[in-house]
Amino acid sequence: MTTPYDADLVALLADASFDRHTPPPAAAAPYPEPAAWAYEGLRRITAAVGGGKPLLADHRRLRALLELTAITDPVLFHVTFLHHCMTVGPALDYGATAADIAELTSGSAMGAALMTELGQGNSGADIRTEATYDARTREFVLHTPGPEAAKYPPNVGLPGVPRLAVVSARLQAGGADRGTCLFLVPLQDARAPHPGVVIHRRPPTALLPLDYATVSFDRVRVPHHRWLADGATIDPNGVFRDPLADPATRTGRSLSMSRFACGAVTAGLAAAARAGVSIALRHAGRRRTHDRLAGAVPALAHHNQRRLLFGALAQAFAATALARAATRDSWEIPDGGGRGHGPGPGAMRRFALAKTAADRLAEEAISRSRSAAGAAAFFSENRLVDYHALAMAFRSACGDNQLILLDAARSMAAGIDYAPPTEDAPDHWLRLFRARERLLHAELTAALRAAEALGIDAFTAWDTHTDLAQRFAEAHLARVTAEAAHAAYRPGEPPSGSATDIRAQLYQLFCLEEITAHSGWYHEAGLLTVEDTRALPDRLAHTCRTLMPRLDETQAVLDVPSALTRGPLAGPDYVADLYAQLEERPPPFPCPGRGHTV
């Protein structure tokens, strides 16, 4: 599973200027505003790494950069993926000019994606922003028809940062609605917003703090070359032609730009999970607790701590296995871009589900890590709460997790690019996962057919069975994730004493936890005996004990550069490092907490 990182990327992000939680003490400088710090960091990264070329041309290096920025600081990751994936990605895919791509890849303008609108929640399917074609000037007039159509909440509120954004708008050309299209729109330069662009910055937020804003357009003129036409044309006589079948298909194609986000976010969430687990495991391995029965023992001597952290380690491992496959496919740009070709519904569903799986796994893994670390995990200087904020944000961002699950369940129930998994599987765990998915799919489709036979309308029938639909989608997600984790430990390689052996243990632990969560269902379905079910807790405990003596090796599997995790909790001596960070010497008496639960 591990992918060694390029030394230059690690060295770049290890620089002290990329630690916004610890400003240089000698200068007594105030903590920087996160947005200003992040954009300066993005400028430095783009100048040092991009070489004036799109990073999407090298998937491995871009993925490594995104993983490392997520480990360094989720705020930095957020602006990096929005620029290099959600702005440069659509620019390449939908046919931007070479000059506009050069402006973005040079870093002279920061990218942004303005898709969702204030009155539409986080849905991009019913866009109200208008782009009316003016045949006389061959321009598009971009306009916000009402407050509900304001773009919300892009992080573009910081003054003085030149911005070039991908904006979705409903195209009106030749007197007809042509569906949602994409445009490259300059929002502001170093002095002020461009004429007609109205930016209202939102109040600060504690989680993933950036310069969020609402953006409205008052008849902003966009030149023809900044229409990301994607193969569509409007000739000098105003005649519109589109290689896609109809406005609905065009809208779907525009929405598919989310695939660039899915790949990036999936990679970033998995990296944040690994970093959180790495910090918490190191701390728990050396933190002494005072037990009434055993006296002073390391935190990991307690079974509950091992279950928390090794379970979290297995989740981070599974999320990473899933993520590294997702980026490979979601960032592909067919035929050089700009020709109306993109991934089909089945592929888009896979990308969205990968993001959902990674987010759910990361949020749980980081939550467990925070629980194990105690009060110290509350403070951003120790990074865990920032990693948790990233996972919490993407529960809804980049598509709401529950809606993604329900939408996937509906299309799979309809047989759209889907067939239930076969019984054949490489091992017992995957046979169980496949059986659960297959049986829940059969239950859901039978229920929908029965409702149809009774004359129940489609909405009521579906709405009545959304709980079952979500269970089916979650079973599908568990099966797909387990298959990715199984592939990641490369069965067949010599296992004894190797990293492969640890990956195999983590795969087994992930499967045990997933099966245990639904053990009653498996028993009722005849897939587990009473003895099997009763043995699950002991098997979980045994796997955790097996990993206990190999903490250093698990750190190697996590592949988290220690130079980037920073903070007292990640250091060799939490108490000494905390005082050193504060430029204070420990007092001449025992520190509160030394030798006790922190």
Name residues whose C-beta falls within 8 Å of residue 573's C-beta, 6 or more positions apart in sequence: none
Angle at 246 between CA 340 and CA 351, to 5 degrees: 50
User: In this predicted model, which residue has the larger pLDDT, 491 or 407?
Assistant: 407
Instruction: Report how far residue 503's alpha carbon sits from residue 508's, in angstroms, rounded to the nearest whole number.
Output: 9
Q: Is 227 helix (H, G, I), strand (E, B) or coil?
A: strand
Structure tokens at 104: 């973005």
Q: What is the pLDDT of residue 26?
A: 55
The answer on pLDDT for 586 being more than 50 is no
Q: What is the pLDDT of residue 528?
A: 97
Give yes or no for a contact between 78 and 208, defined as CB atoms under 8 angstroms apart.
yes
Domain positions in the chain: 7-106, 112-254
The answer on pLDDT for 84 being more than 60 is yes
The pTM of the full predicted model, rounded to 2 decimals, is: 0.93
Instruction: Report how far residue 245's alpha carbon sits from residue 419's, in angstroms, rounded to the nearest whole number.
Output: 27
Comparing CA positions, the residue from 22, 15, 11 lying closest to residue 567 is 22
Instruction: Report how far residue 439's alpha carbon sits from residue 444's, in angstroms, rounded to the nearest whole number.
Output: 9
| Chain segment 202-246, per-residue pLDDT in tens | 998 988 999 999 999 999 999 999 999 999 999 988 899 999 999
What DSSP string describes 187-223? EE-SSSBPTTEEEEEPPP-SSS---BEEEEESSEEEE
Give yes or no for a contact between 509 and 544, defined as CB atoms under 8 angstroms apart.
yes
Comparing CA positions, the residue from 511, 510, 549, 540 lying closest to residue 303 is 540
Instruction: Report how far residue 255's alpha carbon sits from residue 232's, in angstroms, rounded to the nearest whole number.
Output: 16
Comparing CA positions, the residue from 470, 420, 404, 456 lying closest to residue 448 is 456
User: In this predicted model, which residue has the larger pLDDT, 4 or 476?
Assistant: 476
Structure tokens at 6: 């390029």
Structure tokens at 475: 């079973």
Give domain 112-254's CATH architecture.
Beta Barrel (2.40)
Q: What is the pLDDT of residue 584?
A: 46
Residue 188, exposed/middle/buried by CB under 10 A (0-12, 13-18, 19+)? buried
| Chain segment 548-567, per-residue pLDDT in tens | 988 888 888 899 999 999 88
| pLDDT interval class at 334 (50, 70, 90) | confident
Q: How many CB atoms lie within 10 A of CB 241?
A: 10
Instruction: Report how far residue 90's alpha carbon sits from residue 264's, in angstroms, rounded to the nearest whole number.
Output: 14
Name residues whose C-beta falls within 8 Å of residue 453's C-beta, 6 or more positions apart in sequence: none
Q: What is the pLDDT of residue 340?
A: 84
Tokens 């380690």 correspond to what residue? 313
Structure tokens at 520: 């009653």
Q: Is 8 helix (H, G, I), strand (E, B) or coil?
A: helix
CB hemisphere CA count around 182 (13 angstroms): 36
Q: Is 4 helix (H, G, I), strand (E, B) or coil?
A: coil
Comparing CA positions, the residue from 283, 322, 372, 306 lying closest to residue 509 is 306
User: Rounded mean pLDDT of 110-121?
Assistant: 91
Give yes or no for a contact between 527 and 515, defined as CB atoms under 8 angstroms apart.
no
User: Rounded mean pLDDT of 146-158?
Assistant: 96
Name residues whose C-beta falls within 8 Å of residue 317's C-beta, 6 or more positions apart in sequence: 1, 485, 488, 503, 506, 507, 510, 557
The answer on pLDDT for 326 being more than 70 is yes
The answer on pLDDT for 597 being more than 70 is no
The answer on pLDDT for 594 being more than 50 is no
Strand-pair category, 163-173 with 110-114: parallel
Specify the range with the lowest mean pLDDT, choosing from 113-127, 150-164, 233-247, 392-406: 113-127
Give yes or no for a contact between 266 and 354, defined as CB atoms under 8 angstroms apart.
yes
Give yes or no for a contact between 184 and 100, defined as CB atoms under 8 angstroms apart.
yes
Alpha helices in 454-581 (DSSP H): 458-464, 466-488, 499-517, 519-524, 530-547, 551-558, 562-565, 574-581
Q: Is 255 helix (H, G, I), strand (E, B) or coil?
A: helix
Q: What is the pLDDT of residue 572?
A: 79
What is the rounded average pLDDT for all residues in the chain?
90
| Chain segment 278-324, per-residue pLDDT in tens | 999 988 888 777 677 766 777 777 888 899 999 999 999 999 999 98
Q: Is 300 helix (H, G, I), strand (E, B) or coil?
A: helix
Q: What is the pLDDT of residue 124?
A: 63
Q: What is the pLDDT of residue 573?
A: 79
| Chain segment 447-500, per-residue pLDDT in tens | 999 999 999 999 999 999 999 999 999 999 999 999 999 998 766 565 555 677
Comparing CA positions, the residue from 318, 325, 335 lying closest to residue 514 is 318
Comparing CA positions, the residue from 541, 542, 483, 536 lying closest to residue 512 is 536
| Chain segment 28-51, per-residue pLDDT in tens | 566 678 999 999 999 999 999 978
- The length of the chain in residues reads 598
Instruction: Report how far residue 318's alpha carbon sits from residue 485's, in angstroms, rounded to the nearest whole number.
Output: 5
Q: What is the pLDDT of residue 4?
A: 76
Q: What is the pLDDT of residue 351?
A: 96
Instruction: Report how far residue 105's alpha carbon sits from residue 225's, in angstroms, rounded to the nearest whole number.
Output: 18
